[in-house]
Structure 1
């Protein structure tokens, strides 16, 4: 199996699982609370990221088995950890896309020229959030699917 095929299969599995976990598995209570400050927000985000990571792990295990990818377990675990950590970092932003004092990923987006877009377009925050996740999923797939 070529590295390109292995990468494509891993990326497809992680991305499909991302969509399912972020939009079907995540409960509304977690979606609302995960960006709130303090321990309650951190717990809600951790619960979401745990179910998100479990969904991605199930998809990765399925594609590994069905497609015979022979992914090294340590690399698969590292890819899932990277996806989880970067997902948590972004999701702690929660509904704070329009705050006067942006933090974290929102501050990065504003610094790279997206501040006006964030203020003007109600969908900008969601789109930036999703593109952040998918960019890191790309890197995670590269990590999980090495050249043999």
Structure 2
């Protein structure tokens, strides 16, 4: 008997993206512990623990948003697909939020100057602003990976109404 691969409904992908994108922002800005935001990019165990805590809560918020959308619209998601998409989002989020990998990538791609925009300058009385180049690169990275993550979440979903 021929096995068929689960299909991906573009409408479900769009609905998931519409649900998970604001959840991403809420998890990154509203629900993230201040200590995790400050420490997640630090070297060593303190940074790794802070980043892991943040990514765990971030992933829970995204999965809750996905299932909330599914319940509200009559879509049945496959738990294995949601897990796969959440794993892509979590792993790529953790890498980005450790900060050094994205900084190295920015410099390797000739975007080092953009990365450093808005950063406090040593020897000056500057305050680092929220809208730094590093922040925009971080968010761009998350958006790039959010698309395949929700596409995986939609794999095999079906309408139940």
- Pairwise same-fold verdict (TM > 0.5): yes
Q: Deviations over 1:95-127 (max 9, x none)?
A: xxxxxxxx4122112222211212344411000
Which residue is 1:109 aligned to? 106
* Match of residue 57, structure 1, among 48, 63, 73: 63
**Distance in structure 2 (CA, Å) of the matches to 1:24 and 1:62:** 19
Which residue is 2:138 aligned to? 129
**Distance in structure 2 (CA, Å) of the matches to 1:45 and 1:120:** 23
Q: RMSD over aligned Cα, in angstroms?
A: 1.6
Which residue is 1:145 aligned to? 154
Gaps of 5+ in 1: 94-102
In structure 2, the CA distance between the partners of 1:56 and 1:120, relative to structure 1 (3 Å rule), is: closer
More helix by share: 1
Gaps of 5+ in 2: 1-7, 120-131
* Match of residue 68, structure 1, among 53, 65, 74: 74
Indicate the SS of the match to 2:76: coil
**Distance in structure 2 (CA, Å) of the matches to 1:90 and 1:131:** 10
- Work out the number of aligned pairs and report it: 138
Give, in angstroms, the shift of residue 66 of structure 1. Answer: 1.1
In structure 2, the CA distance between the partners of 1:71 and 1:43, relative to structure 1 (3 Å rule), is: same
What TM-score, normalized by structure 2, do the two folds share?
0.80
Q: Deviations over 1:44-99 (max 9, x none)?
A: 11111111011111101101111122221101110011101110000011xxxxxx
